[in-house]
Amino acid sequence: MDQTTFQDSPELRWVERVSKLLDSKFRIPGTGIRFGLDPLFGLLPVAGDIGTMVISLSLVYTMYRHGASGRLVAKMVGNVLIDVVLGSIPLIGIALDVYYKPNNRNVRLLKEYYRQGKHRGSASGVIVPVLLVTLLITAGLIYGAVVLVMYIIEWLGG
């Protein structure tokens, strides 16, 4: 698939728009620093991380459905996991969201895959560990959300 086909696909154009919205839609005046909604969602403890992870993984899934190789998908999921794990650390997470931009990285990887033939191959050696790590992180975030809600309820009631 070449760039023309990439631009002709409504789903891939959607992926590109959502990636930009999450990672680089806005610019801090007087600087070259761009950011998206991801660091703003990160201000919501746990829920923001879960929300952006779900959106980012849905973007990866859409790219997979449009021919991304297993190896490429593993790299993309790795980018999302780095963002989720490090993004859940207060303050560090917001800075990471501003500078790391996993969704824009993933779109760039897909374009390299289409244009230059990079990132081809199977992910058979890493797919199970990547899925397990994704599952563990998701479970940890859900557990954190439950603990946070219970703490807030106790604080309000006590």
Domain ranges of the chain: 3-157
Alpha-carbon torsion angle 135, 141, 142, 144, nearest 10: 140
Residue 2 pLDDT > 60, yes or no? Answer: no
CB 19 within 8 A of CB 59: yes
Predicted confidence (pLDDT) per residue in 37-67, tens digit? 999 998 887 788 889 999 999 999 998 888 8
Condensed to tens digits (0 to 9), the pLDDT of residues 99-138 reads: 999 999 999 998 888 876 666 666 566 666 777 777 787 7
Identify the band that residue 81 occupies on the pLDDT scale cut at 50, 70 and 90.
Answer: confident
Bridge partners (DSSP) of residue 27 are 34
Helices (H), 27-126: 38-41, 47-65, 70-87, 92-99, 102-116
Q: What is the pTM of this model?
A: 0.74
Could you report the per-residue pLDDT of 143-155, keeping only the tens digit for each? Answer: 877 888 888 888 8
Q: What is the DSSP letter of 125?
A: T
Beta bridge partners of 35: 26
